[in-house]
Amino acid sequence: MKLMQTLSVLACMPTLALASQLPTDALYHLSTGDKVTAQSSSLDMTPKTHLFNSVIRAAQADTPAASTITPMCQTLSLNTVYPFGGMTVGQKPCFHFEVTEPGKTTAFLFGQSADTNINLSIVRHNPDNTFTLMANSANAANADELAAALTEPGHYYWLMDVIATDSSDIKFGAISSTQAQLDDFEANDSIATVTMLPDKQNRVKGNIDNVFDYDYFAFTAVRGQDLIVKLEDEAKTDEFVLEIYNGGNWQPVAVNKAETISQLQENQSVVVRVSGNPNLQNNPANQYTLVLGSVVASFAHDSVSGEHGVERIPYSAFKAPYLTTQAYRDLNWTVTLNDSKGHPVEGAEATFKLIRDFDSIDDVRNPYEDFVVTSDANGKASGGVNLGRCFSDYTVEHTSYSMGYRNTWRTDFLVGAWRIEIDSYEEKVIGIGGTQHPYVYIGHLCDQDLVSSTRN
């Protein structure tokens, strides 16, 4: 399946982290707390709190001083869902929680009636009794709210802003993830903080640390080249969901299957996101691999050869099969990968597949030994294979002519084979070796003796 992108610029994307409804059914593994009500306590945001601002910045990690802080609001627990009622318009209820180790805190609020609209923020209580806004969520109307921030040990607050309410109950809470559970992309939980990937074929490893963790990635097709997108779940846990933003909607993309994005304009951006399967409890220890970037459409400048000056066995001496490639111990190969516009592709993988000896194949279903190389900035993928010493299956005598002499050689050798595979469009593989001619034969020259040399 080829995906036809209608997105023209990244600016067309919504700024909200999620859709209007959170996957709250997946919160079954959290505790349920007692109902809380709106109280008179609130954060005093007077001018003395000059550090309070709407810019997300690194939290101050002065843990000893933080331990002396007296919470200004009722203390609640993390990883718990609390029913909340008794609110009135204009109130700014707050609740305190403590973070004991570095990680990420994801605050959520859901279950608002049609006549309720409450915004949600995470605020840090600094050791000097000032406050720092770490994250906020202000979705329209009664849409669910989600605010996530990287948090150091210290004291924090849920801060709500009641825009409208019919006094019906809502639910809120926060999920904590430790630093050990986080990947390198914890700051990209929204379009505003999307990870922009460079002009290459990217392979990104990440995880989902909680049910509300969304990892957003964007790629710009600067030449209007065709792209590849694939989410690899090697453990086949079914924990991950991949979606692409297309035509104003998030379109699901099958996991463990490559898809092609085509008909792009120059400098057109494509945005995808990875999230957890709401029907399963996620395990942060499980990782996904996202492939996103230029697809390899063609290759050029391919070469596979043995050492310089190999005394080759000619076709006249051994023709079943013909030994196209011959080497003593070292085999070198190279290939250049290009995108649909003929531009070199960096970051793509080419696999050199080798059968060392046809007569001693251990696994007839998968006889190849794989050597995987990632292409460089010039699109070049190259490598060397040490064939080592060998004990021959075949012996032939053959003749060569050099500097007026007729030389007779006796060569002991093995017959092997190789092919090169490159992932291309969707599930298509290009390279050297196909359906009609699946591989190229190689002669591994184990021993070579000069039998005679006479003047010609």
Task: Give residue-wise pLDDT tens across range 217-276.
Answer: 999 999 999 999 999 998 899 999 999 999 889 999 999 999 999 999 999 999 999 999
Residues in the chain: 456
Domain boundaries, given as residue ranges, for the chain: 2-13+189-294, 24-181, 298-455
Task: Give residue-wise pLDDT tens across range 267-310.
Answer: 999 999 999 998 888 899 999 999 999 999 999 999 999 999 99
What is the predicted pLDDT for the residue at 41? 57
pLDDT at residue 46 is higher than 90: no
What is the predicted pLDDT for the residue at 67? 59
Q: What's the rounded Cα separation, in Å, for the pair 36 and 34?
A: 6
Q: Which residue has better confidence, 227 or 56?
A: 227
User: Top-level CATH class of 2-13+189-294?
Assistant: mainly beta
pLDDT at residue 183 is higher than 50: yes
Q: How many CA atoms are closer than 13 Å to the CA of 98, on its beta-carbon side?
A: 11
Residue type, 87: M
Which stretch of 2-6, 82-86, 112-116, 411-415 has the lowest confidence by average pLDDT?
2-6
- The dotted CATH code for 24-181 is 2.60.120.1050
Task: Give residue-wise pLDDT tens across range 87-142.
Answer: 999 999 999 999 999 999 999 999 999 999 999 999 999 999 999 999 999 999 99
Local confidence band at 331 (pLDDT 50, 70, 90 cut-offs): very high
What is the predicted pLDDT for the residue at 44? 63
CA neighbor of 176 nearest in space, from 92, 76, 274: 76
What is the predicted pLDDT for the residue at 2? 62
Give me the mean pLDDT over the 317-329 stretch: 96
Which stretch of 51-60, 296-305, 308-317 has the lowest confidence by average pLDDT?
51-60
User: Same CATH topology for 2-13+189-294 and 24-181?
Assistant: yes
**Three-class DSSP labels, the chain:** CEEECCCCCHHHCCCCCCCCCCCHHHHHHCEECCCEECCCCCCCCCCCCCCCCCCCCCCCCCHHHHCCCCCCCEECCCCEEEEEECCCCCCCCEEEEEECCCEEEEEEEECCCCCCEEEEEEEEECCCCCEEEEEEECCCCCCCEEEEEEECCEEEEEEEEEEECCCCCEEEEEEEEEHHHCCCCCCCCCHHHCEEECCCEEEEEECCCCCCCCEEEEEEECCCCCEEEEEECCCCCCCEEEEEEECCEEEEECCCCCEEEECCCCCEEEEEEEEECCCCCCCCCCCEEEEEEECCCEEEEEEEECCCCCCCCCCCCCCCCCCCEEECCEEEEEEEEECCCCCECCCCEEEEEEECCHHHCCCCCCCCEEEEEECCCCCEEEEEEECCCCCCCEEEEEEEEECCEEEEEEEEEEEEEEEEEEECCCCCEEEECCCCCCCEEEEEEEEEEEEEEEEC
pLDDT at residue 385 is higher than 90: yes
Q: What's the rounded Cα separation, in Å, for the pair 22 and 211?
A: 9
Q: What's the rounded Cα separation, in Å, for the pair 227 and 154?
A: 44
pLDDT at residue 20 is higher than 70: no
Percent of the chain with pLDDT over 70: 89
User: Do the beta carbons of residue 371 and residue 354 sit within 8 Å?
Assistant: yes
CA neighbor of 219 nearest in space, from 263, 166, 273: 273
What is the predicted pLDDT for the residue at 3? 64
What is the predicted pLDDT for the residue at 360? 78
Partners of residue 305 on adjacent β-strands: 332
What is the predicted pLDDT for the residue at 29? 75
What is the predicted pLDDT for the residue at 299? 97
Q: Distance of alpha carbon 251 from its chain centroid, rounded? A: 18
What is the predicted pLDDT for the residue at 14? 42
Give me the mean pLDDT over the 16-36 stretch: 72
Reading the block at residue 418, the tokens are 């190789």
Percent of the chain with pLDDT over 90: 74
pLDDT at residue 54 is higher than 70: no
Reading the block at residue 354, the tokens are 């080798």
Which stretch of 38-47, 170-179, 201-210, 257-266 has the lowest confidence by average pLDDT?
38-47
Give me the mean pLDDT over the 349-353 stretch: 98
Q: What's the rounded Cα separation, in Å, for the pair 155 and 151?
A: 10
CA neighbor of 148 nearest in space, from 319, 279, 1, 22: 22
What does pLDDT average to over the chain?
A: 88
CA neighbor of 18 nearest in space, from 237, 241, 219: 241
Residue type, 229: V
